Structure 1
Amino acid sequence: MAQSHDPGRPVRVLIVDDSAMIRKALEIGMSSDPGIVVIGAAHDGERGLEMARALAPDVITLDIEMPRLDGVSFMRRLMPERAIPTVVISAVTSEGAEVTLRALEAGAVDIIAKPSLGTGTALPRIMADICRRVRNAANARPFLSRPLVQTRLTARRSSHARDHVIVIGASTGGVQALAQLLPLMPSDAPGIAIVQHMPEGFTHSFAKRLNTTCAIEVREAKDGDEMRPGLALIAPGGSRHMVLIGHKPKLRVSLQEGPPVSFSTPSVDMLFDSAASCLGPSCSAALLTGMGKDGANGLLNIRNAGGRTIAQDEISSVVWGMPRQAVMIGAAQFILPLNSIAAALLEPPATALAQTAHKEGQSI
C-alpha cells in the first residue's frame, strides 16, 4: 500500500547507488534543500531493500546498475510490499535506457539522467532540478503495471482518420499510462503526436518498446515527419520543443530550439498550442498523469478552438497535477479513467461539442 507524505514536514529520502561519489553528491545536494532530509544511503540493492523496510522513507532515489541486486529487481521486490515513490537516477546509454524503462514499468515514478560530477557550473542547476522532482515525487501514488484486459479498439470512422489528429501530453506516470493506452489503438487510428517528459536519450528506447506492443507504428519524431494515420510520434527528450506545422492533410512535426515552457522541454503546452492553431475542431487531446501545470493552458486553447479535450482522472493518475490544473481552468470537456481514454480519443472530434453539455466533468 502506498504511504502518504505529510506536507508539513521535509521529505525523507533514501539514496540507493553503488557509486560512493554519486551518493555523496546526492546527499550534499539534497541536504541543502530545506524541504528534504536524507535519512540514509545504501551501496547496493540488497542493502537498499533492508533500509527501505527499516526506515520507511517518503522517496527513494535509485541507481539501476548495481551489484547484488539491480534497480529493476529492487523495484519488483519492493513495490508489492511497500509502494514507496522511487525516482530512478540512471546513466544515459542505450542499454541503461532500456533497463531504466523496465524499472518505470515496475513502478518507479520518475527518471532523471545521472549527473556528471564534471559538469561544473551546471551542477547546482542539475541538483536543484533533482530536489524539485524528489519533493514532487513524495506526492505520487506508484502503481504496478497491470496487464491490459481490454481488446484493441476499432476506429469509429476510419475513413476520417486523415482529417483527425490526436495529441497527448504526459509526465510522471506517463510511461506506464502510455504503455496501457497506445496498444489499444487500431492500426488505422488517426496520427498521434505525444510529448512525454523524459530525459534526452530515453525517448528513443521508449518508442521502440511501445512499437513492439502496438498495432500502430510508434517511433521517436524527427524534424519534418509527416503526420499520418497509423503513426504515433514521440517528441525527443532534450532541448527542443515538438510542434505541428502546416495544415491537414499535409501536417508535419517541427522540432524547434527554445527555452523551457511551463518548466519543460519539450513542452506539452507548445504541442497543444500548435495543434489548436493547425487543427481547430479536427483535434482530440488528452492530458495524462504528471506533476506541474504543463499542458493545461494548451488544452484550454484546443477546447476553445473546437477540439475534443480529455483529462485523466485522479484515481488512475500517479500524480494528478497537470490534469488537475486543466480541470481547474475549465480546459477538460471530459475527466476519464485511463482505461476509457483511448476510446474517447478515437471518437470523431465533431461529436464532442454535441455531448459536452451533459457530459462535461463526467466519465463517458
Structure 2
Amino acid sequence: MPVRVLIVDDSATMRGLIAATLCRDPAISVVGEAADPLEARQAIKTLDPDVVTLDVEMPNMNGLEFLARIMRLRPTRVIMVSTMTERGASTTIKALEIGAFDCVAKPSAKDPRSFDELPAKIKAIAASPINRQEPLRQESHRQESHRQELHRQELHRQDPTSAGAARREPQTASSRYSPDGRLVAIGSSTGGVEALLTILSQFPENCPPTIVTQHMPPVFTASFAARLDRLCKPHVAEAVDGAPILPGRVYLAPGGAAHLEVVKHVGGYRCRLTNTEAVNGHRPSVDVLFNSVAQSAGRNALGVILTGMGRDGAQGLLAMRKIGAETIGQDEASSLVYGMPKAAFEIGGVGKQLTLQRIAAHILTSTNQ
C-alpha cells in the first residue's frame, strides 16, 4: 500500500508544490490537503493518514499548539515544513522536541532543492513506530532538573556550609566525571534532535570535548545549538573553523554549509570546516567527521551513531573502530529510524549497542577510565 500523506499549509502554492513532489513517487499517495489546523483536525480524523506534513506558521492556530494537541490526543507521524528564517528554525526545533519526526525547509534561492529528500523521509518515517515516549513531559522534566541544579550551585556559592549546599546527590556518572583527554564524536539524522537532547542534557559542565554532525537544513543548526546551550550544562555552539576543541564544549556542524572535521593541533585538536562536495548526499556528512576523528585522534576518541535514515556514518564509524576507538550504536528499539545505526552495525562498525537512555552514562564512564 502507498504511504498516505495529508498536506497542511495555508499556502495553496506550497500545498501544490509539496503534492507535485510527492506524487512523483508511486509509493506515496497524497490523500488530502488542509489550509489550517481546523481543517487539518477534521481531515486527520476522516482520512487517518500515515504521515502529515505541517506548516510551522498558520492562521487560526499556531503550528506548535496544533502539533502538541495532535501528539496528546492522536499521536501522528508529522514532518514540519518551515521557512528558512531564524524564527522559523527556532519554532521547528521546538516542534521536533514536542514530537515531530523530522523537518524540511521550504524552497528558497539558497536552497531551491530542499524538497528533494521529502519523499524518502516520508517513506522512512511511515515505517517507524509511533513511540514518542511523552516528549512534552520529558522536556518539562529536563528544564526543571536544570533549574534545580542551577539553584543548588547558587546556594553553594552563597554559603558552602548551608544545608542546601551540603546535601549531596547520588553519585552518578555525571557527578563523579573527570575528563581523561578523549574526545567524543556523534552523528545523527532523523530523530536526532530528541536523541541529542537526551544525551547532552545528562553531560556535566566539564564534559568530554564533543563534536556533533546532525543532518539539518541551513539556519536550523544555529537555533538548535542555542536551544541545547540553554538546556544543557556544557557550552554548545555551532563549530567555527579553527576553533580549539576543549573539555566542557560541544561543537555542532553548521547545517548545509560545510563538513566538520577534527584536525590535530599543537597540544590538542581543532575544528576544520570544508566546503567540499556532499558525501552520501549530505553536507555536513557524518562519515567525513568520523573519518577525520579516526585519522586525528585514533584510540583517543569515542564514536556514537544515532537514529537516522540512510548509511551516512557507517564507514566512518568502522574506520574509528578499526583504529582502536570505542564505538557505540543506538539500538533499534530506541531509534526513531533504525537506518544509520543499522548500517554501521551490519558492517561491523558498532562495538556496543545501547538504548538511547544508557548512552550518556556509558560515554561518561568510558571516558573517565
* TM-score of the aligned structures, taking structure 2 as reference length: 0.86
Of 103, 113, 116, which aligns to 1:128? 116
- The reply on whether 1:311 has 2:329 as its aligned counterpart is yes
* CA–CA separation in structure 2 for the residues paired with 1:341 and 1:84: 27
- The reply on whether 1:110 has 2:130 as its aligned counterpart is no
1:138 corresponds to: 126
Q: Retained in 2: the 8 A contact 1:169–1:295?
A: yes
2:233 corresponds to: 215
User: What's the offset of the Cα at 1:141?
Assistant: 3.2
2:199 corresponds to: 181
Deviates more, 1:79-88 or 1:219-228: 79-88
1:168 corresponds to: 186
User: What's the offset of the Cα at 1:200?
Assistant: 0.3
Q: Retained in 2: the 8 A contact 1:225–1:252?
A: yes
Of 326, 343, 360, which aligns to 2:361? 343
* CA–CA separation in structure 2 for the residues paired with 1:345 and 1:68: 45
Of 11, 16, 22, which aligns to 1:24? 16
Percent identity of equivalent pairs: 40
Residues 88-145 of structure 1 show CA distances to partners (whole Å, capped at 9, x for unaligned) of 11001111111111111111111111114x78xx85x544322222222212334141
1:57 corresponds to: 49
Aligned residues: 337
Deviates more, 1:339-348 or 1:63-72: 339-348
Matches within 5 A, 1:89-108: 89-108=81-100
2:158 corresponds to: none
* CA–CA separation in structure 1 for the residues paired with 2:114 and 2:65: 27
* CA–CA separation in structure 2 for the residues paired with 1:112 and 1:166: 28
Residues 176-230 of structure 1 show CA distances to partners (whole Å, capped at 9, x for unaligned) of 1111110111111110000011100000010111111111100111111110000
1:6 corresponds to: none
Matches within 5 A, 1:196-345: 196-247=214-265, 249-345=267-363
**Residue ranges of structure 2 left out of the alignment (5+ in a row):** 146-168
User: What's the offset of the Cα at 1:327?
Assistant: 1.2
Secondary structure in structure 1 of the residue aligned to 2:251: strand
User: What's the offset of the Cα at 1:339?
Assistant: 1.0
Residues 245-288 of structure 1 show CA distances to partners (whole Å, capped at 9, x for unaligned) of 11573201111012211221100110000011111111011111
1:154 corresponds to: 174
CA shift in 2, pair 1:248/1:133, >3 Å: farther
Secondary structure in structure 1 of the residue aligned to 2:72: coil
- The reply on whether 1:192 has 2:202 as its aligned counterpart is no
Secondary structure in structure 2 of the residue aligned to 1:128: coil
2:31 corresponds to: 39
Q: Retained in 1: the 8 A contact 2:177–2:204?
A: no
Q: Retained in 2: the 8 A contact 1:307–1:349?
A: no
Q: Retained in 2: the 8 A contact 1:155–1:188?
A: no
Counterpart residue type for residue 204 of structure 2: P
Deviates more, 1:270-279 or 1:26-35: 26-35
Secondary structure in structure 2 of the residue aligned to 1:233: strand
* CA–CA separation in structure 2 for the residues paired with 1:203 and 1:267: 14
Counterpart residue type for residue 59 of structure 1: V
Deviates more, 1:140-149 or 1:178-187: 140-149
User: What's the offset of the Cα at 1:347?
Assistant: 3.0
Counterpart residue type for residue 129 of structure 2: R
* CA–CA separation in structure 2 for the residues paired with 1:248 and 1:87: 44
**Residue ranges of structure 1 left out of the alignment (5+ in a row):** 1-8, 352-364
Q: Retained in 1: the 8 A contact 2:179–2:207?
A: no
CA shift in 2, pair 1:159/1:38, >3 Å: closer
Q: Retained in 2: the 8 A contact 1:181–1:338?
A: yes
* CA–CA separation in structure 2 for the residues paired with 1:202 and 1:180: 19
Counterpart residue type for residue 307 of structure 1: A
